[in-house]
Amino acid sequence: MSYGPLAPIYASLARLYSGGAIPACQRWAVEQISAGSRVLFVGPGPGTDVLDAARRGLQVTAIDCDARMLQTLANRLRHAGLLSRVQLVHADLLQAPTAAYDVVIAQFFLNVFPANHLRQVLTALGGQLGPCGRLIVGDFAALGEGQHPWQRLYHDLPMHLLARFGANAIHPVHDLPRHLQESGFSLRDGRRFRLFGAGPAWVEALVAEAAGP
């Protein structure tokens, strides 16, 4: 998967398209992390939340298989004087060795994959967590009863655009609460974010833990 020429402007596009809901989701996720925690950002893109975590003194690692996006993140960290505080890993999560992070954050990462790959990806995310570790995902909110007729279109427009650059698969809106539970996670918390601060709540953050034996 690659974002190609969109890499340097991806954060701005996400902020504009969501009316600030995506950055708010990213900030909220970082705010849930205790001081001193080891945190892994998976597919961090340009890494607005990575910078936030580094400024808060967290022990931060970011892994991405897109070299151009990882370089964009490195440039932003260097400009902010934070490059030495973040370990950058150019690798595919599915091929990375397991670890023991306190928190794994995957913002709009699961939306890259088709539904039939989610269990494999969620298993790999769980493999990066230590005991009592938490997985925080941010993404498009699942469709539910009484959904707005434009909610699916809101999800599909950027998906089809980014698919042209090879950045993601084309698929329906993921029901992430269901996929998390089917992959052995227990939901612990969550929050929805409104587009432009007052519009529909179509961006969602979920906090999950790997279920015990």
On the question of pLDDT at 28 being above 90, the answer is yes
Of residues 161 and 189, which shows the higher confidence score? 189
Task: State the distance between the two ends of the chain, measured CA to CA, in whole angstroms.
Answer: 34
Express each pLDDT in 88-141 by its tens digit. Answer: 999 999 999 999 999 999 999 999 999 999 999 999 999 999 999 999 999 999
Q: 146 in the Ramachandran plot: left (φ > 0), alpha (ψ -120 to 50) or beta? A: left
Contact 96, 64 (CB under 8 A): no
Strands 129-140 and 203-210: antiparallel
| Distance in angstroms (rounded) separating the CA atoms of residues 75 and 83 | 8
Can you give the pLDDT at residue 206? 98
pLDDT single digits (tens) 181-210? 999 999 999 999 999 999 999 999 999 998
Residue 213: pLDDT band with limits 50, 70, 90 = low
Residue 71 to residue 134: CA distance in whole angstroms: 27
Structure tokens at 134: 């938490």
Provide the residue ranges of all domains of the chain, joining segments of one domain with +: 4-210
Instruction: State both tokens at 147.
Output: 């959904």
Class at the top of the CATH hierarchy for domain 4-210 = alpha beta
Taking alpha carbons only, the member of 62, 35, 37, 36 closest to residue 48 is 62
Q: Kindly state the tokens that stand for 11.
A: 């954060």
